[in-house]
Amino acid sequence: MSKAQLRILFLTNDREDYLADGLLHGLRQLPGLEVVDYPRKECMYEGGRQCKVAPEFGVRGGGFSLYGVLTEPQGGIDRSFIWQRLAAGWFDAVLIGNVWRQWGFLLQWRELFAAQPLLLLDGDDDQRLYPRSGTRLRQFGIGTGLTNLLELPSTHMFKRELTNRSRKWGLRLNVHPLAFSIPESLISLKLPNKSQLFPSHIVDRDLSNKLGASANYVFADEQSYRSDLASSRFGITTRRAGWDCLRHYEIAAAGAVICFRDLDKKPVGCAPHGLIDGLNCISYGSSDDLLKRINALSLQEEVELQSLALAWAQSSSTKNRSLQLLKYANLLA
């Protein structure tokens, strides 16, 4: 779609969502786009990492990497008369931040959403493909009338956990893989000086017990966390509830080698994408296996791994991920 100013309505909710929030950040970095997040995604803006009236409802993980970093564009964002503007054709595309949490919008506004490209994000730790939700079926039954909307050529789904369980069940859906991302400003421009083997926080309990390190969060502030990663030659990550995790990107962005336990077991369709054992990361099955591989590396081999990990982080910036989204949806000029 060729236009001097591409207008995107980004429908959000009040919970963190690493896939959607990385894309919101990245879209804001692209020239020629006007992105209206509605309602305002408070946790993404300066000072928004904690709920003002109930601080216990803070962003998971302390809000490192993605949160509290956006500022309103000069002149602010006009979030008034959203549905009237949508009905008048003011927006060129609608993006729903999390289809599992926001499918009520699809039911209520399906006729409006059918008038322009519709982008549905699914960043949950769930291998099922929307709309196969038991909750949705129990509440509304099978005949919701969404099939026509979901099967439109201009409707695109972006899913993080794509496996053989992500079945279309006869629906003709445009489904694309997509992954988390990290702000470009947090990616090192060159390899930092390294002074330690591993960071203080080692999420693999097998390895942390062996080394006497901590498997729990050890940093209350983000700068200390990043400095610790940047000083480390290798960073440790594992699968959590899903395969993708911001930690993968934070390690690579600090110029450390991603050591990913059981990466070889990850389904091809699941994020993260582009990590290759021995090229830009190390896949290992046990702490002894990892330590043996690290000890066998030459200095040159280690630096090459770090450099290619850094290049992988650069390709995974929020800006580049947003360009990938727009390309999949045929919204690039």
Calpha distance 306→132 (Å, rounded): 41
Q: What is the pLDDT of residue 219?
A: 79
Residues 38 and 159 in one domain: yes
Evaluate if residue 227 carries a pLDDT over 70.
yes
- Strands across the sheet with 93-96, in order? 33-38, 6-11, 93-96, 118-122, 155-159, 174-177
Residues 220 and 162 in one domain: no
Evaluate if residue 196 carries a pLDDT over 80.
yes
Residues 205 and 158 in one domain: no
CATH number of 109's domain: 3.40.50
Q: How confident is the model at residue 146 (pLDDT cuts 50, 70, 90)?
A: confident
Q: To the nearest whole percent, how much of the chain has pLDDT over 90?
A: 73
Q: What is the pLDDT of residue 295?
A: 97
Q: Name the residue among 22, 276, 13 with its Cα closest to residue 158.
A: 22
CATH number of 302's domain: 3.40.50.2000
Average pLDDT along the chain: 90
Residues 175 and 217 in one domain: no
Q: Check: CB of residue 78 under 8 Å from CB of residue 5.
A: no
Q: What is the pLDDT of residue 213?
A: 75
Higher-pLDDT residue of 104, 307: 307
Listed in order, strand segments (DSSP E) in the chain are 6-11, 33-38, 93-96, 118-122, 155-159, 174-177, 234-237, 257-261, 281-284
Calpha distance 27→32 (Å, rounded): 10
Q: Which residues pair with 70 in a beta bridge?
A: 45
Q: To the nearest whole percent, how much of the chain has pLDDT over 70?
A: 89
In a domain, residue 230? The reply is: yes
Looking at residues 220-224, what average pLDDT do you find?
86
Hey, is 198 helix, strand or coil?
coil
Looking at residues 263-269, what average pLDDT do you find?
97
Q: What is the pLDDT of residue 53?
A: 46
Hey, is 56 helix, strand or coil?
coil
Main-chain dihedrals φ then ψ at residue 178, nearest 5 degrees: -155, 155
Looking at residues 237-249, what average pLDDT do you find?
96
In a domain, residue 67? The reply is: yes
Higher-pLDDT residue of 333, 68: 68
Residues 83 and 213 in one domain: no
In a domain, residue 44? The reply is: yes
Q: Check: CB of residue 233 under 8 Å from CB of residue 194.
A: yes
Q: Which residues pair with 96 in a beta bridge?
A: 11, 120
Q: Which residues pair with 260 in a beta bridge?
A: 237, 283
Residues 290 and 323 in one domain: no
Place of tokens 């990550």: 237
Residues 72 and 144 in one domain: yes
Residues 93 and 75 in one domain: yes
How many domains in the chain?
2
Looking at residues 250-256, what average pLDDT do you find?
98
Residues 177 and 196 in one domain: no
In a domain, residue 113? The reply is: yes
DSSP 163: S
Residue 130 CB neighbours (<10 A): 23
In a domain, residue 333? The reply is: no
Helices (H), 70-215: 82-87, 99-113, 134-140, 147-150, 205-211
Q: Which long-range contacts (CB under 8 A, 24 or more apart) does 15-18 make?
A: 15/101, 16/43, 16/59, 16/60, 16/63, 16/66, 16/67, 17/97, 17/98, 17/121, 17/123, 18/66, 18/123, 18/180, 18/244, 18/246
Residues 311 and 323 in one domain: no
Q: How confident is the model at residue 52 (pLDDT cuts 50, 70, 90)?
A: low
Q: What is the pLDDT of residue 1?
A: 42
Hey, is 177 helix, strand or coil?
strand
Hey, is 45 helix, strand or coil?
strand
Calpha distance 134→136 (Å, rounded): 5
Evaluate if residue 54 carries a pLDDT over 80.
no
Residues 111 and 228 in one domain: no
Which pair of tokens denotes residue 57?
């409802």
Looking at residues 271-276, what average pLDDT do you find?
98
Q: Which sign, positive or negative, has the C-alpha torsion 202, 26, 150, 154? A: negative
In a domain, residue 294? The reply is: yes
Q: What is the pLDDT of residue 136?
A: 62
Q: Is the peptide bond prior to 131 cis by the omega test (within 30 degrees of 0)?
A: yes
Q: Is the peptide bond prior to 272 cis by the omega test (within 30 degrees of 0)?
A: yes
Q: What is the pLDDT of residue 132?
A: 72
Evaluate if residue 158 carries a pLDDT over 70.
yes
Looking at residues 70-89, what average pLDDT do you find?
94
- 307: domain range? 188-315
Q: How confident is the model at residue 135 (pLDDT cuts 50, 70, 90)?
A: low
Calpha distance 214→151 (Å, rounded): 48
In a domain, residue 177? The reply is: yes
In a domain, residue 1? The reply is: no
Residues 81 and 198 in one domain: no
